Structure 1
Amino acid sequence: MDPRETHHDSHGDCDHERESIIKEDRKDYFCVDVPELTDEENKANEKFLKIRDELLSDGKLPFLDEYYDSLPVISQSKLYEKLQKMPKGGHLHLHLTASCKIDFLMELSKEDCVYYNEKENKFKIFVDLEPEEGYIKSSEMRENWNKEGTFDEFIRSKILLNEKDLSSKHSSTIWSNFQWKFDLTFDLYNYEKFMEKIILQVMLDSINEKVFVLEFRHIFGCVFNDKHVVVSLQDEIAMFERCLEKAREVEPSFSCRLISCGLKIVGDGHINTQLECCLQGMKETNIIAGYDLVCEEDITPPLTKYKKLIQAAQENSETPLNIYLHAGETCCRDNENLYDAIQMGTKRIGHGFAILNHPHLIDIAREKQICLEVCPVSNLILGYTFDLRWHPAKSLMHRGVPITISADDPGFWNTYGVSLDYCYASLAWDLNLRELKQLAINGIKHAALTDCEKEKQREKFDEEWSKWIEHMNTED
């Protein structure tokens, strides 16, 4: 035999083996609903990749800069402009009391009923009641402010996580700078007249950025009236339904769901109350999708502590109680919340990036189609990663785990909606239009909607996607 033929055959075998390895490696890739792009989509993809790569030219990687250095570069870019117009299916992980544009919240703070206590660093609303000691009308403080800068600049620096708040490399330290901001703005968000304005504004902002399915994480029983009395569950639900009706005047296809949240840091009594509100509310409206447990995962009790409470509620419920649990928002290898979340039957997992440490759970999530609500900017800001190129979601997509993109708490880091998260993800994870389209479809596929509602939302998405592709191909 000619030795050259043997040499040739060995090369052929190597090439065949290489192709087999590549094929096996890519068999679980997450783009199950977008097997390929059309000719028009491929044309748009070329333009999109060119726009994306313009931000990465000359070795620049803005997503690696400090957040408040990268924010203006990315949010004012052509990439952001295009992604803001891109239909995104659903936004499935957004905490209501951290969802509002800072400018909108600042305008509310100018109302005559708003007071501020500088010592306690807290806003309070006084309408029919006399102001408490130490609280001064914010409009007066604004007029009489004699310290450095303006009162509004001072307040913005308190509400937003600033450079100093984010200077630590330890997530728990950043969380300690973050958690109290919910107390600072509690009354601004939970005063019923303000909350209704906020809910509607966030809905309209969602429609504007082509999000047609919005799911709020929400804590019931905090909304209060002019007399500072907590309103009834029925009145609270009615407020959401009024806002949804108004939003549908702008976009008839718009859908909204609420996931009731219990705060693990408060304890059993509070969690039981939230479960009761959730179950009672589900009897009165279909806007409530299910239940969740929240708070910083590394310092609060594990899910096992509350498993019996949730299971008892599920057994006593007249209608199925779906759960959408936060879990795996941690860098701690000993955290076992993901095991319990999946064992308890969670429909989706909030954050969930620590699942990368659990090979068997990855298999279960892929097989059962348990979607991860990934919040890239939040994970970056709160110190769970300092380089989004190494965020677990990038690997999990290749393992076939369904994920969606969400914003978590954008009102505290000077943005709104989910477009910025799509920008950071597309830059750091080298996403193309096929992958972005799948992420958007997942926002419908895994939303807390009926099959009929999902079908209608998918029709709306396909219509809007075609328009956006045409826009990409006709504009310079």
Structure 2
Amino acid sequence: MSKAEEYVSDRNNILKKEENMFLGSSLILNERERVLDNHILNLRSDDPTLSYQNSHDFIPKKHFFECRMNMVDTEIFNILRRLPKGHSLHTHLLAAASIDFIIANITYRDNVYGKLINDQFKLRFLKPDEATKDGWFSLEEKRKNDTNFDSWLKQQLSLIVQCPRESYPSLESVWEKFEGKFSAIYHLISYKPAFEDYYYQCLKELYEDNIMYGEFRATPLPFYDLDGGVYKAEDFFHTILEVEEKFKEDHYDFIGVRYIHSFNRGISLEDLRKELEDLLTMKEKFPKLIVGLDFEGFEEHGHTLLDFHEELINVREKLDFFFHAGETNWFGHTDCNLVDAVLMKSKRIGHGFALSRHPQLMNLVFENNIAIEHCPISNQVLLLNDDPRNHPIIPLLSKGFPVVICNDDPAVWGATGLSYDWYVTFLAMTPKKCGLKVLKQFALNSIRFSALDKDDKVKAMDVWSRRWVKFISEMIEEI
């Protein structure tokens, strides 16, 4: 072998070793799966927008608000939409059903009123005399005189704008707008009849994206009606279960839902202790539904996990942890929540955006098989990462770390289900030689790292496997 040939051989060996380390590389595809795999690889090779020579046309490079419709028109997105993606593991309940649904199916009901409070628009159901007394205006009356009201309303409930980079010049500015979106609909969705339809829609949008199970982060909503009904926190959980059973009657292969309680990072130590007691009480009443806890909110504001470590350690045997951690660009302070998430044995880590800066933590995450909840569109919209080709999850994928693709708050940026986040991850964060293997691994990871118990995971894997075989057969017939 000449020196030139030896050089090429060494080069190929390095690339082959890296290829064999990437997430999903150990999977063995059957003959039928390889047919679809080749088709997907051909799509990646033939699409001019996926060529480095045409990188200015690369769809995921653009801001999601500017390219989401372009995604939908691609053949790869169509495949991902139909692919059985398994489970959705990181979604905030108040941002789970599309804004269009809320506007068309909830805000057009009788007795819906709006009001600007401290520069934040809010919606709720009220009796007319209560609304008039407190300065709320009727949406029904408003629409009679303002044909553009629904467009304005959509702007109040989502982050979508024509020029996102100009509208949100800093991470702090976009987070301020972002957190206000939850405040806008909080009391609207707390109206019990509206919540029942809203939650059904949450499950429907998952199912229509070929997702068969979901985990929602939330706090019990303060239910009310216009007849003076009095509701307790447990009524919230009963309603979740009732709507889920109704949905299962209509969709026989839907596995179900689990609930992760989310404390706000600004909570006081005294309130945390009280709410932990309440959560443990609810856990005893709903042992299968309530699977654990998390903290939510802008990670650079409020308390760190270290501030609450004693209280959390005391409940660790009764509640699993699914902590947001490392959702930051900072190095050396905010990202240190990752240390506590690992030490407190968090089952999964939400975002983990800063993890690749911490070699010791990376080793511990890998050794302890802690999955990273990867939310690429959220990271772009909320200004952690502009071009997904530079996303810090890529080194983790390259080393075969356990990663699950999640959607975070899809309604706020005009997405539904998981397909958009899968699309961005697949095209921007995996090598061009990656095809069906990594996609199948993403689906398998979503089941493996879910909060389902062992028996339910077996059932979920059986349902997913049958849907996977059907998907492969249908795709082969069409290509």
Q: Once the two structures are superposed, what CA deviation does each residue of 1:6-59 show, in whole Å capped at 9, x if it has no partner?
A: xx3656765665566456545643327x52222211211222234455372572
Q: Which amino acid aligns with 1:71?
A: R
SS at match of 1:115: strand
Does structure 1 residue 111 correspond to structure 2 residue 144? no
What CA distance in whole angstroms lies between the structure 2 residues aligned with 1:40 and 1:424?
26
Cα distance between partner residues in 2 of 1:76 and 1:275: 46
Work out whether residues 247 and 254 of structure 1, in 8 Å CA contact, stay in contact via their aligned partners in 2. Answer: no
Provide the residue aligned with 1:159 in structure 2: 157
Contact 1:275/1:291 (<8 A) preserved = no
* Aligned counterparts of 2:230 and 2:299: Cα–Cα separation in 1: 29
Residues 262/123 of structure 1: CA separation in 2 closer, same or farther (3 Å cut): same
Give the Cα–Cα distance (whole angstroms) in 2 for the partners of residues 448 and 55 of structure 1.
Answer: 40
SS in 2 for 1:265: coil
| Match of residue 47 from structure 2 | 54
Contact 1:323–1:347 under 8 Å retained in 2: yes
Q: d(CA) in 2 for partners of 1:24 and 1:474?
A: 34
Partner Cα separation in structure 2 for residue 313 and residue 16 of structure 1: 55
In structure 2, what is the Cα distance between the partners aligned to 1:272 and 1:453? Answer: 32
CA distance in 2, matches of 1:118, 1:459: 50
> How far is the alpha carbon of 1:263 from its aligned partner?
0.4
Alpha-carbon offset, residue 79 of structure 1: 2.5
String of CA shifts for 1:137-163, please: whole Å, max 9, x gaps: 111111122xxx611011011111033
In the alignment, structure 1 residue 308 sits paired with structure 2 residue 310: yes
1:333 partner amino acid: F
Q: Which residue number in structure 1 is paired with residue 301 of structure 2?
A: 299
DSSP-derived class of the 1:331 partner: coil
Deviation at 1:276, TM superposition (A): 2.8
Match of residue 68 from structure 2 = 71
1:162 and 1:207, CA in 2 relative to 1: closer, same or farther beyond 3 A?
Answer: closer
In structure 2, the residue corresponding to 1:35 is in which secondary structure? coil
Q: What does 1:20-419 correspond to in 2, within 5 Å? A: 21-22=14-15, 25=18, 28-31=21-24, 35-52=27-44, 54=47, 56=49, 59=54, 60-107=57-104, 108-118=106-116, 120-127=120-127, 130-131=130-131, 132-145=133-146, 150-163=148-161, 166-167=165-166, 168-226=168-226, 231-249=231-249, 250-285=251-286, 286-314=288-316, 320-334=318-332, 335=334, 336-419=336-419
SS in 2 for 1:93: strand
CA–CA separation in structure 1 for the residues paired with 2:341 and 2:421: 25
Contact kept, 8 Å, 2:60 with 2:428, in 1: the verdict is yes
CA distances 1:424-453 after superposition (whole Å, capped 9, x unpaired): 112212452110110111100000011111
- Paired residue for 1:442, among 442, 445, 452? 445
Give the SS at the match of 1:364.
helix
AA matched with 2:39: K
The question of whether the paired residues in 1 share the 8 Å contact of 2:63 and 2:386 is answered with: no
- Describe the shift of the 1:385–1:126 C-alpha distance in structure 2 as closer, same or farther (beyond 3 A): same
Which runs of no fewer than 5 residues in structure 1 stay unpaired?
1-7
CA distance in 2, matches of 1:268, 1:403: 32
Question: What secondary structure does 1:130 align onto?
Answer: helix
- Cα 1:17–1:428 shift into 2, 3 Å: closer
Contact 1:329 1:352 in 2 (8 A): yes
Instruction: Tell whether the 8 Å contact from 1:80 to 1:419 is kept in structure 2 after alignment.
Output: yes
CA displacement at 1:78 relative to structure 2 = 2.9
Gaps of 5+ in 2: none
Deviates more, 1:381-390 or 1:225-234: 225-234
> Which residue of the partner structure matches residue 4 of structure 1?
none
CA distance in 1, matches of 2:68, 2:8: 45
Higher deviation after alignment, 63-72 or 334-343:
63-72
1:121 counterpart SS class: strand
- Amino acid of the structure 1 residue aligned with 2:154: R
Note the C-alpha offset of 1:91: 0.3
CA contact (8 A) 1:217 1:260 kept: yes
Native 8 Å contact 1:159 1:412 kept in 2: yes
The CA distance in 1 between the partners of 2:74 and 2:413, in whole Å, is 18
Tell me if structure 2 keeps the 8 A contact 1:92–1:373: yes
| Cα distance change of structure 1 residues 72 and 365 upon mapping to structure 2, 3 Å threshold | same
Distance 1:356 1:243, change over 3 A: same
Deviation at 1:118, TM superposition (A): 4.2
* Distance in 2 of aligned mates of 1:50 and 1:139: 52
Aligned-partner Cα distance in 2 for 1:157–1:213: 30
1:259–1:290 CA contact under 8 A, matched in 2:
yes
Give the aligned residue type for 2:268. Answer: G
Shift in Å, 1:299: 2.0
Query: Which residue pairs with 1:3 in the alignment?
Result: none
Decide whether the 8 Å contact of 1:292 with 1:326 is kept in 2.
yes
Question: Aligned-pair distance for 1:261?
Answer: 0.6
Q: Distance in 1 between matches of 2:221 and 2:185?
A: 16
The total of aligned residue pairs comes to 461
- Quick check: 1:291–1:322 contact (8 Å CA) kept in 2? yes
Q: For 1:156 and 1:169, how far apart are their aligned partners in 2?
A: 21
SS in 2 for 1:389: helix
